[in-house]
Amino acid sequence: MTHHILKANCKTVHLGGFSHQLEPALIINSGDRVDVETYTGYYLYDQAPEDFLNPEFLEICHNLPAERKVGSGPHLLTGPIYINDAQPGDVLEIILENIYPSLPMGFNSIRRGWGALPEEFTEPKLNFIPLNLEKKFAEFPPNSGIKIPLQPFFGILGVATENSQRSSIPPGSYGGNIDCRELKVGSRIFLPVFVPGGLFSIGDGHSAQGDGEINVTAIETSMNGTIKIKLRKDLQISFPMAETSSDIISFGFGNTLDGAFELALKQMISWLEKFVGLSREDAYILCSLAVNFHITQVVNNPQKGVHGMLAKSILPKKTPDNIKSGSIGFING
């Protein structure tokens, strides 16, 4: 197993979306670790204070090649990472070992026509928010005494599909702009593979976000981290799942919250059938008794998101005899 360093530069980032036609930024083997660097704020760097900028980020903003601009989204992503031997039908397990802001400044913006209340908050508004990296909080509004704990995570964790250019805004079966604040250090996400190599990309760092991401942005932050990527040929899933130290997480995305919730529920039922050995009816009942569903985000048009959380503490310590050990939900090592 090799430990790689993936710096963000004009050859290793891409803007606005995902594409299987992009040249990989890094080629790794299953089990390798990657120290990854990400930046945010490509479209507003010229309005940013000094603490939001550094020479490497400015070089990207000034000189990113046209072929690395692959979609209509605003996100600057690092990757893609090609995983040797990954083939369609396989699963990537992304273990989030470290996540931390690299610069002491983030931003939040209201965008015209976006957010949960676009007809009420019609004027664009951009706020740069200082981050106290030593004490791990941000104060907002300024001088209000309201201190928001920093809980950093990557909003986008996704793979390429057969679509040659896919916007980075909506999430889907490929992961992407999930914006789930539960995916902090110590968690892992499982993504189905659609193209050879998987072509995994990461970015959209958030220092703090409430469930819903109501006004369309969190505290958007240039973020670094360490991830470990495993190729899982023993798993078969068609939609992202995740695991934290305490919970199993299912995801659902849809044009409505009802649609997103229904899919998140069905994904959890299917997981309980496959990995715990419950009947579909018993799994449905257990979801009513023990699974908590949350609004992930309501702003990544056209896909809203819901995630369901099942406490691992209530599950049996071993999988049924007909289920392989080491599968999702039973991999605490």
Residue-level pLDDT at 49: 98
276, 89 contact by CB (below 8 A): no
pLDDT by 10s per residue, the chain, length 333 = 999 999 999 999 999 999 999 999 999 999 999 999 999 999 999 999 999 999 999 999 999 999 999 999 999 999 999 999 999 999 999 999 999 999 999 999 999 999 999 999 999 999 999 999 999 999 999 999 999 999 999 999 999 999 878 999 999 999 999 999 999 999 999 999 999 999 999 999 999 999 999 999 999 999 999 999 999 999 999 999 999 999 999 999 999 999 999 999 999 999 999 999 999 999 999 999 999 999 999 999 999 999 999 999 999 976 554 444 445 544 443
Q: In 3D, which of 294, 288, 329 has the Cα closest to residue 308?
A: 294
Q: Which domains does the chain have, with CATH numbers?
A: 3-232 (2.60.120.580), 245-314 (3.10.28.20)
Q: Is the preceding omega at residue 302 within 30 degrees of 0, hence cis? A: yes
Longest dimension (CA), the chain: 59
Residue-level pLDDT at 274: 93
207, 101 contact by CB (below 8 A): yes
